[in-house]
């Protein structure tokens, strides 16, 4: 997660879809590339000052120190979580993995 306004986009137009029927109960705005439909950002009603960016969309992802993991239920089998870290199944107030 990044502080709101700290992430900017270069290149093409960003489109969005607002999901009001999420399993976690909070409205979520999904932003994506208008040309290829790759997800670039999620805004969650519960976290009004944060921008969630899929790590795979960041070219310099190896330069980041990751502190928290969400959406553990969706993790691929080879993904491991550090011992003692709370990882939510689907973010928000969902159950722990």
* Spatial CB neighbours of 62, under 8 Å, sequence gap ≥ 6: none
**Predicted confidence (pLDDT) at residue 48 exceeds the cutoff of 90:** no
**Predicted confidence (pLDDT) at residue 15 exceeds the cutoff of 90:** yes
Q: Are 72 and 95 members of one domain?
A: yes
pLDDT tens profile 55-69: 777 777 777 766 665
Q: Are 45 and 74 members of one domain?
A: no
Question: In this predicted structure, which of 2-11, 27-36, 54-63, 70-79 has the lowest mean pLDDT?
Answer: 70-79
Range of the domain at 91: 67-97
Q: Are 48 and 6 members of one domain?
A: yes
Alpha carbons 94 and 83: distance in angstroms, whole number: 19
Instruction: For residues 12-35, give the mean pLDDT.
Output: 88
Split into its structural domains, the chain has a count of 2
Q: What is the DSSP string of 53-97?
A: --GGG-TTGGG--------GGG--TT----TT---BSSSTTPPB-
**Predicted confidence (pLDDT) at residue 49 exceeds the cutoff of 60:** yes
């Amino acid at each position: 997660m990044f502080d709101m306004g700290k992430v900017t986009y270069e290149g093409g137009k960003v489109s969005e879809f607002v999901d009001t029927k999420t399993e976690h109960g909070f409205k979520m705005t999904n932003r994506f590339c208008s040309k290829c439909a790759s997800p670039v950002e999620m805004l969650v009603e519960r976290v009004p000052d944060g921008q969630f960016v899929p790590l795979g969309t960041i070219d310099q992802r190896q330069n980041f120190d990751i502190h928290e993991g969400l959406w553990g239920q969706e993790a691929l089998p080879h993904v491991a979580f550090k011992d003692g870290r709370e990882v939510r199944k689907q973010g928000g107030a969902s159950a722990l993995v």
